[in-house]
Amino acid sequence: MIVTTTDAVEGKQIVEVLGLVMANSVRARNIGRDIMAGFRGIVGGEVDEYTKLLAQSRELSVMRMTERAEAMGANAVVGVRFITAGIMSGASEILAYGTAVVVE
């Protein structure tokens, strides 16, 4: 499965557009991460606990999106974008979306 942010796949031709595919992941913080993040807030630096949490959410969203594209018969997803939103205090959503296509 080819996944790209561009609207085309270099060296390949889009022969069929199957439609929009999207998938999301909502993750909430937990007390252990919040305590470690609080310490980081005091001393400064990257909050690794939240960076890892968002990276896991992003990967899960892409995996779900590609699974949906494959179920439609696609072998690529073009024009991939991400949206992040706060759902409630302590929880965030990452939405991945793009266009499922068949390339040759």
Tell me the two tokens of residue 24: 């999301």
pLDDT in tens, 46-66: 777 778 888 999 999 999 999
With a pLDDT cut of 70, the percent of the chain lying above it is: 82
The whole-number average pLDDT for the span 15-35 is 82
Looking at the structure of the chain, the number of domains it has is: 1
CB 102 within 8 A of CB 16: yes
Q: Which DSSP category does 11 fall into? A: T
- pTM, full prediction: 0.82
- Flag whether 40 is in a domain: no
Residue 103 has what pLDDT?
A: 98
- Flag whether 62 is in a domain: yes
Tell me the two tokens of residue 7: 């609207």
- Flag whether 47 is in a domain: no
The CATH number covering residue 84 comes to: 3.30.110.70
CB within 8 A of 16, min separation 6: which ones? Answer: 101, 102
d(CA 63, CA 74) in angstroms, rounded, equals: 14
- Flag whether 82 is in a domain: yes
- Flag whether 37 is in a domain: no
pLDDT in tens, 63-80: 999 999 999 999 999 999
> Which domain range does residue 76 map to?
2-28+57-103
